[in-house]
Structure 1
Amino acid sequence: MTTSPRRVTRLVHGQPTSDGAGVKLNRVIGTQGFTMLDPFLMLDEFRSDQAGDYIAGFPSHPHRGFETVTYMLAGRMRHADNQGNRGLLTAGSVQWMTAGRGIVHSEMPEQEDGLMWGFQLWVNLPAHEKMRAPRYQDIAPEAVPEVAAAAGATVRVIAGTFGGVEGPVQGITTAPLYLDLHLDGGAALDVPLPAAHSAFAYVYAGDATIGSERVQRGQLAVLGEGGGVQIAADAPARMILVAARPLHEPVAKYGPFVMNTQDEIMQAVRDYRDGRF
């Protein structure tokens, strides 16, 4: 059993919104009521089988000073950027993009019907890395290991280590853990977590007991201090469990730019306007 198990300190409901060219999504982190959970700046779930909700996609737009993490559950999304990178995200794939000093990219659906479902998470960069060179880690579905963690429980390990298995995402300063948990009815699971990391679980199918709290589909559970978390499900449930080292640095945000001061934000705006990304 996990020593010093974490308790749920807050339950967060997402807010329907739209982004890009009108893509409908559920924003869970990054709202007025829940602005961030250091180092996590934003979490969106996009889920629709209505093409009109996603077909316009996310045309070219800039980023500076943080990382975007896209995890696809269903559908196909094509990305391209001004550095010449191209790629296709399919069900089960992951893209961890470190924007660093600046990149301009697009994310466009490569389908005209059917279910489009996944997450985008924004993770802050420390001050000393905000102006680093951009990079991508594109992870194919078959490169994400799956662990049979307990009776009726499997875990996809995207980043960090679980059950002695290391995820494919590497070299991230905040030392993240990103797991996709699948629990059958009656399954229970203990997940160790680094004690100093901020952590949350977001239930995206069914409902589950996290610590001693019942968490329903579409709710995010903020986890308090401790060495791990205990999770159980009476009926089939799925969730992402994410943790990372907080930065404890000032945050200045303006749209797709996240820096430490307003002066740095103004410089980012000028650099983008003048074509220096």
Structure 2
Amino acid sequence: MNLQHLFFIGLTGLFISYYISEYTHITHTDRVLSRKFQTKNKKIDSISTRKIIGTDELQVMDPFLRFTHYKLKKSQGLLDHPHSGYDTITYILSGHLAYEDFRNNSGILSQGDTQWITTGKGLVHAEIAESETCEILQIWLSLKLDYKLCDLTYQNLLDDDIIKATNNEGVTVKILSGESLGRWSYTITRTQAYVLDAILDDKALWQTDIPAGWNCMLYILYGEVYIEDDKLKQFEAGMLSQWDTDLTVRCVGGCRVILIAGEVLDEMIVNYGQFFMPNYPMVEKASRDYKTGKDGFEGSLEWRSKFN
């Protein structure tokens, strides 16, 4: 096969992708359930854990690397540990979570608060339950290659400051990032992504748009929902069709639904512990930098959180 044939094949692929994208944007086709996942409650280091993304069944859902539902008791949590190459999103469902990092950032997150950290080239921190019980969701969102080694950045979003929207028909959506019901979040996202927390009354319909081509998932905190004729119940997760735009969620008995969706980065992902990079040399360098306290991890070798 010569270069002319390769060029023609590549150009044809681009035209097909373009017309599929344009077609779905024009016609606004409905998203349907494509895969369903049962989540299992496991004890990991005595912490109650449900893994939604980051399992043998679903290792990643581009651009999402991990999605975990934790229930902690007082003084439980994650002691000093590193991250590199992605955003960590921590959403407090109930209780209080204390945090501290090696750059002297510290504080307490309370019910409804969100912490959005771009870890970039390096973060070492600890997160510990401050209340008798604490329930959180944590999402790891991959960064594009251009941002993999950017500087550490925090966005602490208090519950009262997070945009909320309602359709006045029994649906209230908290917009941690992205858009729903005509309102947009203020959150800065280097990777385009929606993170939505929707509470629906019995028989309510939530209609929202997701950009065509994005990967999208629902996770049910309580209640039962229907996407067309397919049902998801408490603690189940469902991936939705990719090249559609419109989503209609019908609630039975009162529901709470977490929606995550993001643009597909389509970059290679290499994982080593808490590090995610697009190739082996970069992930090995991140691990080496952490162990030697260099290039983003300066000061980490001497640092210990107050929780130790």
Q: TM-score, normalised by structure 1?
A: 0.92
User: Which residue number in structure 2 is paired with residue 156 of structure 1?
Assistant: 174
Q: Would you say 1:187 and 2:204 are equivalent positions?
A: yes
Question: What is the one-letter code of the residue matched to 1:180?
Answer: D
Q: Which has the larger radius of gyration?
A: 2
- In the alignment, the residues of structure 2 paired with residue 150 and residue 221 of structure 1 have an alpha-carbon distance, to the nearest angstrom, of 26
1:7 equivalent among 19, 29, 32: 32
- State whether structure 2 residue 294 is matched by structure 1 residue 270: no
Alpha-carbon distance in structure 2 between the residues aligned to 1:41 and 1:32: 13
Q: CA deviation at 1:173?
A: 2.3
| Deviant stretches of 4+, over 3 Å | 15-19
Q: Does the aligned pair in 1 maintain the 2:39–2:236 contact within 8 Å?
A: yes
CA distance in 2, matches of 1:253, 1:187: 41
For the residue of structure 2 that corresponds to 1:264, the secondary structure is helix
Distance 2:262 2:117 in 1: 16
State the SS of the aligned residue for 1:268.
Answer: helix
Cα displacement (A) at 1:128: 1.5
1:76 aligns with 2:76: no
1:31 equivalenced with 2:55 (yes/no): yes
The alignment covers a number of residue pairs equal to 268
Cα 1:79–1:211 shift into 2, 3 Å: farther
Taking the TM superposition and a 5 Å limit, the aligned residue runs for 1:1-277 are 3-19=28-44, 22-47=46-71, 51=73, 55-111=75-131, 113=132, 115-170=133-188, 172-224=189-241, 225-276=243-294, 277=297
Q: Where does the alignment leave 5 or more consecutive residues of structure 1 unmatched?
A: none
1:47: Cα distance to partner? 2.8
Question: Could you say which structure has the higher helix fraction?
Answer: 2
Two-structure CA RMSD over aligned residues (Å):
1.5
SS state at 2:283 partner:
helix
CA offsets per residue over residues 212-246 of structure 1, 9 Å max, x none?
Answer: 31001101110112012110112100011111111
Which range moves more in the overlay, 208-217 or 36-45? 208-217
Deviations 1:36-58 (A, max 9, x none): 1100111101136xx3xx63311
Structure 2 Cα separation of the partners of residues 58 and 89 of structure 1? 15
Higher deviation after alignment, 154-163 or 99-108: 154-163
Note the alpha carbon deviations across 1:141-199, whole angstroms, 9 max, x for none. Answer: 101122112411111111112223221311x1221111111011011121111112111
Counterpart of 1:42 in structure 2: which amino acid? R
